[in-house]
Amino acid sequence: MAPAALGCGLAVTLEPLRELTAAQLRQIDGEVGLVGAVMEATATLTVGHETAQLCLQVIKACVHECDLGAESCDDRRIQQAHQEGDAAGSPVPGMMFLVTDSEELPGSVLAAYERAASAGFQLACEAEVGRLLAALAAAVPGGGRVLELGTGVGVGLAWLVHGLGARRDVEVVTVELDDQLQRTALPAPWPPWVRFESGDGAEVVGRLGQFDLIFPDAPGGKIFKLRRTVAALREGGVLVVDDMDLTRHDDEQLRSALAVVRHRLLGNAELVCAELGFSSGVIVAVKRRS
């Protein structure tokens, strides 16, 4: 690696998918500092017009490769990113980590994150949560059904579909209150077993039947009327609730509401819960078999 070929400055720009808390900013700043240290360059972070998650993945991949001494983390990769940034009319001269790391994300998921970025949608699930969703979707039994409350632009959906792969024996239903938003997800090439529903998740969930995996990712069905969502879970079914790390939320009301959600999940005798302290904070709850 010869960072001198690029000069000793390393400018990193990223656009958060959702508003960053002070703790997240510190973490990202630390990652950027680490990349700077590895490259023997002075790294500066600008929160701007790119996708934070994708940028972070590139940063992490780069640091990891450097740790392993891999060829691919040399200045050619950085230079290429640099040139692509320039070609794309980067708002920050010298921006490096513009490239999306398509080897890290499935194509359909990458397309969904790009859709989120171009729509300015900042509420898409984080990649770590997405990977968990994909893994759990892969475990859904034959004839299984999956439900997402809050389609957004289809990022969580893309992860779920990725996990289900070429299966034809499943159904995925995704519910969104905002029709216009959901319409942005529709043109993607979804399998025929994906069904889009419009409406308030808290209301719609009552008439959709039973599910093996539910991702309640909207206020309706998560913060409001969570019990209806739990009622729609089959025995042995799995509920994945993200954004449960309260320290990430600056809004006091939201923190209180999420604390209630946590209490309701953990205190529900029908559920066996595990709190996972990664990504946005996840509670995985499995409905007991009687």
Q: Which residues bind ligand SAM (CB under 6 A)?
A: 123-125, 148-150, 152, 155-156, 175-178, 181, 200-202, 217-220
Least gap, CB of 156 to ligand SAM (angstroms): 3
- Give 108-172 as a DSSP string: HHHHHHHHHHHHT---PPPHHHHHHHHHHHHTPPTT-EEEEE--TTSHHHHHHHHHHTT--S-EE
Q: Which of 221, 243, 241 is nearest to 232 (CA)?
A: 221
Identity of the residue, 3 or 220, whose beta carbon is nearer to ligand SAM in the bound complex: 220
Least gap, CB of 99 to ligand SAM (angstroms): 22
Q: Using CB positions, name the residue nearest to ligand SAM.
A: 220
Burial 134-158 (b: 16+ CB within 10 A, else e): bebbeebeeebbbbbbbbbbbbbbb
Identity of the residue, 149 or 194, whose beta carbon is nearer to ligand SAM in the bound complex: 149
Identity of the residue, 97 or 121, whose beta carbon is nearer to ligand SAM in the bound complex: 121
∠ CA 145-148-152, rounded to 5°: 145
Least gap, CB of 274 to ligand SAM (angstroms): 20
Least gap, CB of 56 to ligand SAM (angstroms): 17
Identity of the residue, 106 or 156, whose beta carbon is nearer to ligand SAM in the bound complex: 156
The answer to whether the CB of 156 falls within 8 A of the CB of 213 is no
Least gap, CB of 170 to ligand SAM (angstroms): 18
Identity of the residue, 3 or 216, whose beta carbon is nearer to ligand SAM in the bound complex: 216
Least gap, CB of 134 to ligand SAM (angstroms): 12
Least gap, CB of 162 to ligand SAM (angstroms): 12
**Calpha distance 267→238 (Å, rounded):** 16
Identity of the residue, 148 or 171, whose beta carbon is nearer to ligand SAM in the bound complex: 148
The 3-state DSSP class for residue 197 equals: strand
Say which amino acid occupies 227.
R
- Give 63-121 as a DSSP string: HHHHHHT-TTSSHHHHHHHHHHHHHTT-SSTTB-TTS--TTTS-HHHHHHHHHHHHHT-
Identity of the residue, 79 or 195, whose beta carbon is nearer to ligand SAM in the bound complex: 195
